[in-house]
Amino acid sequence: WAEVLSDLHGQDFPSSGFCFKNLLRTFRFIWQSPHILILLSSAFSMNSIISALGMLLFGTLISLTSKILYMLTSTGLDGSVHKFEKPWFQTTQMFFAEMLCGPLYLYVRHLERKERLREAQERTPLLSQPPLEVKESFNKKTFFIACIPAIADLSATASMMTGLLYVTVSVNQLLRGSEMIFAAILSVLCLHRKIDRQKWLGISCCFFGLLLVGLANLGAEGLAPDQKRSIAIGFCLIVLAQIFQASQVVIEEFCLHDLEVQPMVLLSYEGILGSAFCWIVVIPALQWIPGGDVGGSWENTLDTFVMLKNSWALLSVEILDAAGTLLYNFFGLCVVRNLSAVHRVVFEALRTLLVWLFDLALFYVFSGGRLGEPWTSSSWLQALGFVSIVTGTYLYNRDDFGASEEADK
């Protein structure tokens, strides 16, 4: 770590303030660390470890790139230079990344079929007929059921991307701890789970941590009334997004476990349905709804493409964010399939710490204060809120982890 950080600190950074090469080297250093894999392999299977690490790695990446996109500027449709504040385009881009899981899944299945056919031919005598390959059929029921998590994902992403305009990326991640509260409530109502006193204690700790995060940001020094109002709006939007996100996780668990749907199939269904709804309904409607974007619309999509065309840095971060979104959602579904929806919520809490650390490193190491967020006097109260949220998450899931370890033994 000392060699990596000293190497990063001693290099000259581009004018955009963000060095992809060094950030990816840091991610690769974490990914290739054998000590982490050795420690984790004693408790979980290798598939579970890879799923969890992939979710944490790419989840941290897209959290940072989503906020960085809002901080970058480019020349727009009217010739002026302004920030890339396009939350609905980010939502559409997320569904496009999910839709790419379909071709990827078909290609992987094609390679698997060729390998099974080759092995079958090697084992079959020359005069015998090799076994016929069973083709997978399109499941209409699964496709239409995927409409529900797709709508929940659309609502959650749009609310979260809009709320991210008003708060820092670390606050956004901390507020995502409320997803566990809503996931627990929905698990009781929809999946008929039981919640004991220990789980209620964990939920209370999470709620207390969320209050501390709110006090740390609304009570910060030097904030004008308009700034506090904007932060409060961002808080409400992000918490609302967690209600939709919890609904999506519970429905995905039902599809993956009860209907035995492949993760990439479910993800591609959500991407197709979400992309179709965005481009057919949402994007055209945004051009006519009055707002503060270029041309007086709520969000000018033509201005979005012009800004991407005029800035290579903006386009690069957008592509990186799309690729990270594809891999994050895939690994998130793999976590639900290999472990459970509860484990996915736990890893989201761990992802919060990684996002905060990298956001601080982005401010002090990578960009020289141009990107990221600094450590302020209210950060101590925010850190206490993070500890409370993680403690509540542990208390809520301690029995589930114990049952998982017994099953592995």
- Residue-wise pLDDT for 233-246, tens only, equals 888 888 888 888 88
Buried b (16+ CB within 10 A) or exposed e, 288-310: eeeeebbeebebbbebbebbbee
Residue 229: Cβ within 10 Å count: 13
Structure tokens given for 25: 């080297």
d(CA 18, CA 175): 26
Residue 84: Cβ within 10 Å count: 22
pTM: 0.67
369: left (phi over 0), alpha (psi -120 to 50) or beta: left
pLDDT under 50: residue ranges of the chain: 1-20, 23-24, 26-27, 29-43, 126-127, 131-135, 404-405
3-state class percentages of the chain: helix first, strand second, coil last, to nearest 5: 75, 0, 20
What is the pLDDT at residue 400? 59
Own/partner long-range contacts of 46-49 (Cβ < 8 Å, ≥24 apart): 47/334, 47/338, 48/335, 48/338, 48/339
What is the pLDDT at residue 124? 58
d(CA 216, CA 223): 12
What is the pLDDT at residue 310? 92
- H or E element, residue 70: helix 46-71
What is the pLDDT at residue 55? 85
What is the pLDDT at residue 26? 46
What is the pLDDT at residue 110? 77
d(CA 336, CA 210): 25
Side-chain-side CA neighbours of residue 340 (13 Å): 13
* Crossing angle of the two packed helices 312-338 and 87-99, in degrees rounded to 10: 50
